[in-house]
Structure 1
Amino acid sequence: MSSEWGRIDETGTVYVKTADGEREVGSWQAGDAEAGLAYYQRKFADLEAEVELLSSRLESGAGDAKSSKSQAMTLHASLPTAAGIGDFGALDARLVALISAADAKIGEQSLAREAARSEAIAKKESLAVEAEQIAESSTQWKASGDRLRTIVDEWKLIKGIDRKTDDALWKRFAAARDAFSKRRGSHFAHLDTEREAAKSEKEKLVKQAEELASSDDWRDTATALKDLMTQWKAAPRANRATEGALWKRFRAAQDAFFERRSGVFAERDAEQAQNLKEKEAIIAEAAGLDLGNPRQAQISLRDLQERLETIGHVPRDAMRRTEDRMRAAEQRVRDALDAEWKRGAAESNPFLAQLRERLTEAEAKLERARSSGDVDRIAKAEADVAQRRALLPD
């Protein structure tokens, strides 16, 4: 029995057809010839599946190119003796193409590895340079120390560098890290000395503040305490625990003084608020004096002025307002007195009486002129009235 790519003869011998002729691949004695052909076709299909898997893994990048090439060459070498029925010529061509593709992929991977190596070297070179810059000039001690530790973690993740190059780069980094640690140690040793001096200076400021805390000289002491605060801010810092304890004492002394002062000022403010109410009542009384008898109003005003003087201070922001209102009330009485004097002076002066009489006559003429509607007559009458009014005192 035969198929496109092979046959089984009457003795059970199995042949496959190739470009060079038939090749014996086995013997089939287990059943009918059709089953035998199917069996050997499946064996060929298994070879095809293996080639297909190698090809797809190579194309996807899931398989190592060298390993794929090795397996493909092994398969290719086995084809001349492989047991199976199928198109061995096509399978041979696929394996040859697969080996060629693996060679190309090996070249690509080699270039990629070299590029990755160069990139890895550049990354570690960059980290080494960064560490050297930190070692040379950084004064951000905590942040820089943390960064150097982070660099170690980053360093470990960078792979693909030859041992010699990696060792050389690590020596640079380690030397930079040691230099930074040495410089940082020197800095903090100097800082400890400075902090001892700061502690002494701030203890003096605390003592001064505590001495001032009981003072009743509110203005000068407040100024002195503010000056101490300025000195405190300008002074260097002691270590954290000492600084905190000294600051607590310093603030307590200041708070004690300012709280006492606030109590005194609150009492004073309450007193001044009451004074303001009393003064406002007197001013209101002065503003409401009856001016029908200006002389009597003047007498009453003097009494109110005397009462006003006996009342203490009012709040600063109310001083101008109360003074202005009292002056206005006083001016009101003065104006009434001036008006009364002018009236008396006018009534005793016959010349002024005559001027007023003529003004009255002129005003009557003006009314008659307006009734006539004569424009020229009205203008002449208005000028006459204005002239006569100007002769009278205000």
Structure 2
Amino acid sequence: MDNATTESAIISPAAALVGDPAKYGRVGADGTVFVITGEGEKAVGSYPGKTPDEALAYFVRKFEALASEVALLAARIKSGAMVPSDAGAAVTKLRQQVENLNGVGNLAALKLSVEQIPMLIEEHKSIFEARKAAEAAAKAVKRAEGAAIKEKLVAEAEMHALSENWKLTSERLKTLLDEWKKAPRLDKKADADLWKRFSTSRNKFDKRRRTHFATLLQAQSAVKSAKEIIVSEAESLANSHDWVATARRYKALMDQWKLSGRGKKNDDAKLWLRFKTAQDTFFAAKNSDLEKRQGTMVENLAKRETLILEIEALLPINNLEEARRKFRDLQSKWSKIGMTERSKRAAFDKRFEAVEKAIKEAEAEKWRKSDPTAKARANDVVSQLSAAVANYEAQAAKADAAGNVKKAGELREAATARRAWLAEAEKGLSEFTN
């Protein structure tokens, strides 16, 4: 097979690097493939069962594969993406591969290309270092940005550690955790230190939140128990006909309800519905009964209007015994009159109590005048004052006889004063009944 035929059959992607490799090989009559070098031909192998063109193409591809690796290594070095030490190791490996290559192509050019790479490494070492420095700087910036982000997250988490806005803070801390997971990773120690602060704040809040709700649950349970007792009593009173006492009791139960505190919203709503139902049942019955008795109360009011006039006619009291007897009879009638409208009855009760008070005062005055002990004390006072008057007059007479006019006058003045007291005492004594 001539070179022109091979050249037209094979288009090499490595041709720009080492020339068309098909110019450097041929296939013998026995199917052996040879590579042509400056030192002569060298058998590189055979490809049984294939045509000469296919066999040659196979060994050309082996050459191209290695040539492509050389080209790729050079390109990576030029771009600064290859670590110089790694590039040196790659050159050593490529040298061995070129030396042992069983392929068809310009082996001399390929070897030359490999040997030029160390110089390329040196030439582009500064590019690699610059790129490495740029990457390091970019990483530093990224770390700084990441640190700033996480510092901000930690600061906010610490700010929320003592919050009592349980729901909103829980949601916010969850959001902060999601943001933490998305934030760039830092070096191990910095990340660990910041995470410790972040986690500590979250745990502190969570512990306080759990303690709060445990305490709240306990308090709500106590409130529920207290309100269940209130509701049970309210329901037991729903059908009571003791209107006044039960109405007062419902008011007291309402006060207890308010003082018992707030429980769980759902429990409070259910218990309040039961309480309100019982209370409404009672007051509906009470109001219905009141409407029925409204006519009776009007009649009772008229009875009281008539009876109070009879009671007031007992005044003024001329005969205490008779007044007392009549008052007892009228009082019995008064107490037997049924329910009267409260706002109007108060005035009648006040008039009734005024008559009752007058009779009691008359009784007290009668007792005072008939009290033997008091009468005895009055007698003693009269006797003592009479004796005092007689004594002062006797002493005055002696003073006159002795010619002591001044002393006699003073003694007579004392006697006169006690005589006035004696007159008042005798008047008081005369008021006592025998």
> Could you state the TM-score of these two structures normalised by the residue count of structure 1?
0.43
> Could you state the TM-score of these two structures normalised by the residue count of structure 2?
0.40
